[in-house]
Amino acid sequence: MAFHELTILALVAALAWAAVSDAFWFRIPNVAPLAIVALYPVYLLAGGKGVETLHWSVLIAVATFLTGFFLFARGAMGGGDVKLLTAVSLWAGPQYILSLIVAIAIAGGLLSLIILLGSRSPHVAFATSHVRAVLGLPVAPKGAKGRRTIPYGIAIAAGGLLLCRQLLVSVGI
């Protein structure tokens, strides 16, 4: 296995860590997006594709952060989600940013639908709250508008996993 493939595997691990943390505790540790950003130059130096478009990748990440910051300021997105999305968009660059956004939107829609349908069923809601209580996990916090928040880091991680697959396919794996 080539070293740049190992960096993609480390990216998968960081995405999984962020998703699990968001699902259980409704927080994405700052170390997860930092690790994702730190892995990117290692990936490039190890022979991963994207060196020729590095400036565009950085510009896309900055634009993603500014857009996310605006959404965060309006209460539409969590700070951890903004940081995770920014880090993953750096890896996507100009080649994969559109497929990343579409994948995240689809995964986010499915996640929202699952949460909405689950909360409408009294049996599912009871089971979920009971399991969270037994495990000592927090209840979903309420957002700025008084609605329960959605752990969107799961959707961002799902889009990131598709990105990992695309990166591996681009090198012939």
pLDDT at residue 168, as a whole number: 92
For 122-147, write each residue's pLDDT tens digit.
777 777 776 766 667 676 666 656 66
Low-confidence residues in the chain, pLDDT < 50: none
SS3 assignment, position 78: coil
pTM of the predicted structure, to 2 decimals: 0.89
Locate the domains of the chain by residue range.
Answer: 3-170
Report whether 170 contacts 2 (CB < 8 A).
no
d(CA 18, CA 16): 5
Residues 6+ apart with CB under 8 A from 2: 46, 47, 171
Instruction: Supply the angle between the helices 79-120 and 31-45 in degrees, to the nearest 10.
Output: 120
